[in-house]
Structure formats: structure tokens, C-alpha cells
Structure 1
Amino acid sequence: MRARDILALPGVTGPGNAITDVPGVEVGYTTLIEGSDVRTGVTAILPRSRADLARPCAAGWFSLNGNGEMTGTTWISETGSLALPVTITNTHAVGSCHRGVIEWVARERPEGAHEWLLPVVAETWDGYLNDINGDHVKPAHAVAAIDAARPGPIAEGSVGGGTGMNCYGFKAGSGTASRIVRHGDDSYTVGVFVQANFGSRRELTVLGRHVGPGLLDDNPFDSGAGSIIVVLATDVPLLPGQCTALARRVPLGLARTGTSGSHFSGDVFLAFSTANPGALTSGFPVGAAPYEKIVFVPWGWLDPFYEAVVQAVEEAVLNALVAGRTMEGRAGHRVPGLPVDRLLSAMRG
């Protein structure tokens, strides 16, 4: 079941209603569920397929609230480009995943590994269900998630980096959605992936209905803390600054689900465009002095893409919630899954 199966959500989706609807984008997971206290993992997102990964993508990022981490963002700000796998994990496993990406590049692209590598690694906090200080995520787990990355359908909920994550006091984690946008005679895809771990139960809003206050029972963990990471991919040709502009629209989609942006929630967003392959390179200069060209949609024509971002972000969060199932973890802690029947009743009421 996905949110669109039970709710009348707006917009035209891609065939899989996922970030992998953007051609070339691949997603892989390593999920770690062991004993009573390990509930964590790694999500890997490849901006381009393995054969094409070395070609940079135009990229930008935005932080709604900085109580979180996304490495590599200073380089994105400097160059407007992204050319490595992106990984998402728990707060205390950022270093392991950073090292894992480097090890993967050294194995798969040794010709580039002797240069500098500044991977994007993002995190949210899973310490309620997971033994977050136990050093359970190793570099090999990040390598395995990258190796597992594929196009096509994506599992949602308690998988990959989202394994131990909660949203609006319900079990959530990984979620995705997409939108198709027309630009003249061309058709483009905007895809979103979220690691949803934010929001207080009382805030929850679905399609404009403030349903949270009617779902406050069975609410063992509801601090509003935890964070959300959003990765946005598109094949529409964009400048790096336009990617940043798309990333700045992510909070509007989150707000539709009710959040007011807690101080204790790190909300950090990455957007990239797979168009213009071969541009925005930044390797050491060799040979004749070159030029690069970028084709891009004029700024005044971006509104339909902004709308697609807002809709897809909202739906990706709802997909993570609908996919969540009750989970027990560290110290006997428990987080319930979203009671879909009660949600639907509240929507009708």
C-alpha cells in the first residue's frame, strides 16, 4: 500500500512514482536489524548509473534547520556540481559511510580516487529504536548499499537509512515520489527521496486535514525531534542556482504535512539535475584550454517544477508513513505504525 492508493493526491506521477523515475538515478539499501537493539542502515543514491557516474550533475542544497549534517555541501556551494554516490544513514554513522564511499570509488574508479573525494553523506537520528553509539554501521555497509543500487521500484518504510526512523510519532523512514512536468514539447521528471524522522503527532496534517489531534493515543515517542533529509533529482536542464531554488521549495511540501520545523530537527535538502552531461567538470587541467556549455530552462518558466517539488515531497512523506510498521527496538522501545483505518476515518469526518 502507498499513500496514493488510499488518498486523492494531486499531480501526474512517473511510472514508479519514485526518484528512480528520473533516468539514470539508482537507489540501494543496506538494512541492519539484529537482536533487540540494532535498527539502522544505509541508503545509497547514485545520481547517474555506474557507467556515467563520473560526469558531474548540476547541484544545489538548502538547510531549513541546521541541527543535522550533510557533508560535501561546501564543495557543492563552490562548484555547483555533484559526481559521487550520496549516502544517508544515522547521525553517528556519517564517518563510516564517508569512508565507505571513498573505498567504493577506490575500487570502481581508481583513476579518480587519487584526487580529492568529498562525498555527500547525510543523517537523521535513530537513537530511540537503535543502539546509535554501538558502531554497527561499517564502511562495508555503505559499499554494499552502493553495490545494491538499481533503477526501478524502491522499498519504503523501515529500510536502509530509514530503518529506525519515526515521523509524527509513527514508524516511518524511507519514502519516495515523482512528478511529470511538461515544458513545451518536452516532458521531464522530478523525483524525491526522503528519510523522514521529524514532526510531532499533534502537528500531522494530511491533504489539509489536521488529523494529528485525533491520533494522540499510543504515542510513546513524540518529541518532534529527529530530522529529515530530502534528495531531489530531475532530468530538466538547470543551472546550479536553479537546483538550489528547487531545494528551497522542499519545506513547502513538508509544511503541507504539518511540521513547523522543530529546533531539534535537522532539515537539510539536496537537489541535482542529470542534464548537461560533460559540464561542470573540475579536474586538474590537462591539454588545451576548454570551454563548457550548459542549457537551462529560463528562470521565469520554473514554476511548474516548483509545484512538482512541493507535491512530490508531501507524497514521499506520506508514503514513508503508510509504509511504516510497528517496530520494537533498543531498551524495549516501541513505535507504532500509522493506523490507516483511523486516518481514513478522520479524513472522512
Structure 2
Amino acid sequence: MAAVSSAEAQERRSARDLGVVVGVLPTGPLNQITDVDGVRVGHVTVTSGDTINTGVTAVLPHGGNIFQEKVPAAFVVGNGFGKFAGTTQVQELGELESPVVLTCTLCVPRAADAVMTYLLGLPGNENVRSVNPVVAETNDGFLNRIRLRPITETDVLAAIAGADTGPVEQGSVGAGRGTIAFGWKGGIGTASRRLPEELGGWTVGVLVQSNHGGVLAIDGAPVGEALSGSPYGGPRESAPYPRAGMRPRTGGAAGAEPADARWSPQDGSIIMVVATDAPLEHRNLERLARRALLGLGRGGGSMSNGSGDYVIAFSSVPVSRLWDAPRLPNAAMSPIFQAAIEATEEAILNSMFLATTVEGDLGTVEALPLDATLDVLRQHGVVPR
């Protein structure tokens, strides 16, 4: 298995670089979650031939000892068909004491054990006897032979060690290597919003692992329906693969695809990580996390029966300093809510615009065709003709 770059085969560009601007608020300098002061992101991508396509993405609230310098946090469930380790303690105490690690479904236990190794090994934690690793997943079993549980402790520790405050690689990288969104290649995406000073000047950043279904919409334009029809009705409703990006592998005497290659475009999961430098406690962070679900919905995500739609939100202000910071009144939250909605919507778009086509265990998933997407957006006035 080897680490690879998501830029290996195709030149891709972010939504904003192609003129697709969602929302009304300005972005941070990078338009990424790392615009929130102190936040770090690291990836390890794990591949082997056309069988293994998975990885690890780690989000760190700051560069110090997160166990000793806990940050306020909250967790929200949209639809709960998934695994998100460590969330009951986050909700009970309103604190995060671990990196947020994203990976594949069957890799969660191994990743959690590796996060424990990391936390217990930090200087100052020699006498610690309980840690709460926070690990989330989406199922990449179409492109990844997931039963092999192919990530290792080394992969997780390398993603954490490599986490940086600079630009974040997006698309088919890290925990997004094997994911699918709306039937096209999904992945890791990120975006940010920075409020004007008169609205507080706070920054909100979002990182997503997109692997979900629904009918893709971009700034209200029905891109998914235009490109490949709707799984909920119309002439393509009876097709087993109504999404144009899916190319299941065929074989055998009848040339049929494996039974477990059948993928429902309604189902799938998404993990949304929301960070802010606003000094928020658990209650308002939970309110903030719920707004990410609105961003998911604005992009056409439907939180279907078989979907695991989860949001974890944290402030980069450590708990030890939170009570010394100016308290934000509830009335100050509305602009921060808007920032989370917009950043989530754009992060999902970036996860797809920057993803590359990947050939995997049960077939190939093509990257969203950007030229055709832009044609639809021009027809609906989202981008200039």
C-alpha cells in the first residue's frame, strides 16, 4: 500500500475558482477550515492496485496537547446510520480532548486504538488512564475492499503528525479516497467564511467527508437531475445505476456485476466538521452544528434512511480560556449560523469539484464532469454565460 496524491491524473479546480460562488459572506484567506486560527489538517491516503482505496484524515483543533487543553465541542445527528466513536462524552461534557479522525466504516476500531496511542504518548499524559478518541466514518466499500480493514496505526499516527495549518488537499485524498457523492466521485472538501468586523469578525471553517446521496443542486440549479436524472422518479427511476458516474465492474458467464456492487443513489453518508474561533460553549456549538445540516440540504443532500449524517463542531478557544473570553449573546449567533451554512455547502462542492476519477474494487466512479456542470449552471444563471 502506498500514499498517493489526488492530483495524480486529472487537473481539477475548486467551485469558486470556476466562478461558482454560493452564499453572501466573504471567505477566509484560504477558504478552508485552516482559516480558523490553530486548526490543523493531515491526510494519509492508502491504495493498493484497484482493490484498496481508503485513508485517514485528521483534524486537530490546535497544535498543543489536546487532552490537556480541551476545547468546547458539540455533536449533532442528522440521520444515524453510521459509526461516530466518542460522541457520548463530547455531548455529556461539551468538550473535545482528541483529534477528530475520519476513515472508513470498518476501520473505526483500529483508528480509535491508534488515537489512544497518540493521546497516551503525549508529553504530560504519562499518568492518564482514560482518553476519549473521536473517530468518524463513511462506507467506501464500492471502491475499497473494506473487509480487509486496510488502515494501520502507522497511517493514523502519520495523518496526525502531518497535520498542518496551511492549505488542505481536497478531493480523492485521505478519508475521501474511496467515497461517492450523488453518484459521482466524492471526497474531502473544505471552505470557510469570515464575518465582517461589524458582525463580530469571527471565522467559521468546515471540512467534509462526502459520501452521500440525494439529487445534486448547486446554488439552486438542478445539476444532478440535468446530468443523470433523479433516483426518485422519471424515466430513469428503474435503472439500477441511474447516476452517470457509476461504472460497476462486470464479469462471469452472464457478465453481471457482483450483487454487493449495487449502490443506491439515495443512500450514503457524510461527516461534517465545523470549527470556529468564536468563543462558544457547548449549547451554542450544538446550535451551530445543526446549521451545517442546512448546508447539506441546500446542496441536495436528503439524509436518507441508509445515511449517516453527522456534525461535530468545536471552538478553537480552549476550555481553560473560554470563561475569560467575552461571552457572545444569543443574538450574535445568526451571522455565525449563516457562515456555517454557506461553508458547508461550498465544502461539499469542493469535495466533488476537486475529486478525481477512481477505479476500485467493484468498479469505477467518475469525477463530476465540470464542463457539463458549468453548462447547466450557465443555463440557470449561476455563472455567467
Q: TM-score, normalised by structure 2?
A: 0.83
Residue 319 of structure 1 corresponds to: 350
* CA distance in structure 1 between the aligned counterparts of 2:298 and 2:86, rounded to whole angstroms: 29
| Change in CA separation of 1:38 and 1:110 when aligned onto 2, cut-off 3 Å | farther
Residue 286 of structure 1 corresponds to: none
Matched, 1:266 2:278: no
Q: Deviations over 1:14-63 (max 9, x none)?
A: 11111111111000011001112100000011111135663111111100
| Change in CA separation of 1:155 and 1:138 when aligned onto 2, cut-off 3 Å | same
Residue 218 of structure 1 corresponds to: 244
* CA distance in structure 1 between the aligned counterparts of 2:193 and 2:304, rounded to whole angstroms: 28
* CA distance in structure 1 between the aligned counterparts of 2:89 and 2:205, rounded to whole angstroms: 23
C-alpha root-mean-square deviation of aligned residues, in Å?
Answer: 1.7
Asked whether the equivalents of residues 66 and 98 of structure 2 are also in contact (C-alpha less than 8 Å), the reply is no
Q: Report the Cα offset of residue 110 of structure 1.
A: 5.3
Q: What is the number of residues matched between the two proteins? A: 335
Superposed, which structure 2 residues align to 1:199-238 within 5 Å?
199-200=213-214, 203-216=215-228, 218-220=244-246, 221-238=263-280
* CA distance in structure 2 between the aligned counterparts of 1:31 and 1:73, rounded to whole angstroms: 25
| Change in CA separation of 1:294 and 1:69 when aligned onto 2, cut-off 3 Å | farther
* CA distance in structure 2 between the aligned counterparts of 1:165 and 1:54, rounded to whole angstroms: 34
Superposed, which structure 2 residues align to 1:83-232 within 5 Å?
83-109=97-123, 111=125, 114-182=128-196, 184=198, 186-200=200-214, 203-216=215-228, 218-220=244-246, 221-232=263-274
Q: Report the Cα offset of residue 109 of structure 1.
A: 3.2
| Change in CA separation of 1:60 and 1:183 when aligned onto 2, cut-off 3 Å | farther
Structure 1 residues not aligned, in runs of 5+: 281-291
Matched, 1:240 2:282: yes
Superposed, which structure 2 residues align to 1:246-257 within 5 Å?
246-257=288-299
* CA distance in structure 1 between the aligned counterparts of 2:370 and 2:68, rounded to whole angstroms: 43
| Change in CA separation of 1:295 and 1:239 when aligned onto 2, cut-off 3 Å | farther
* CA distance in structure 2 between the aligned counterparts of 1:134 and 1:152, rounded to whole angstroms: 33
Letter in 1 for 2:330: W
Asked whether the equivalents of residues 69 and 268 of structure 1 are also in contact (C-alpha less than 8 Å), the reply is no
- Match of 1:40, SS? strand
| Change in CA separation of 1:249 and 1:112 when aligned onto 2, cut-off 3 Å | farther
* CA distance in structure 2 between the aligned counterparts of 1:114 and 1:3, rounded to whole angstroms: 44
Q: Deviations over 1:224-274 (max 9, x none)?
A: 222000000000011111000000111110111112211111001000011
Superposed, which structure 2 residues align to 1:75-86 within 5 Å?
75-86=89-100
* CA distance in structure 1 between the aligned counterparts of 2:223 and 2:158, rounded to whole angstroms: 39
Residue 3 of structure 1 corresponds to: 15
Asked whether the equivalents of residues 198 and 226 of structure 1 are also in contact (C-alpha less than 8 Å), the reply is yes
Asked whether the equivalents of residues 213 and 266 of structure 2 are also in contact (C-alpha less than 8 Å), the reply is yes
Which of 56, 63, 73 matches 2:77?
63
Q: Report the Cα offset of residue 71 of structure 1.
A: 1.2
Q: Report the Cα offset of residue 222 of structure 1.
A: 5.0
Q: Report the Cα offset of residue 115 of structure 1.
A: 2.5
Q: TM-score, normalised by structure 1?
A: 0.92
* CA distance in structure 2 between the aligned counterparts of 1:328 and 1:259, rounded to whole angstroms: 24
| Change in CA separation of 1:123 and 1:187 when aligned onto 2, cut-off 3 Å | same
Residue 284 of structure 1 corresponds to: none
- Match of 1:99, SS? helix
Q: Report the Cα offset of residue 107 of structure 1.
A: 2.3
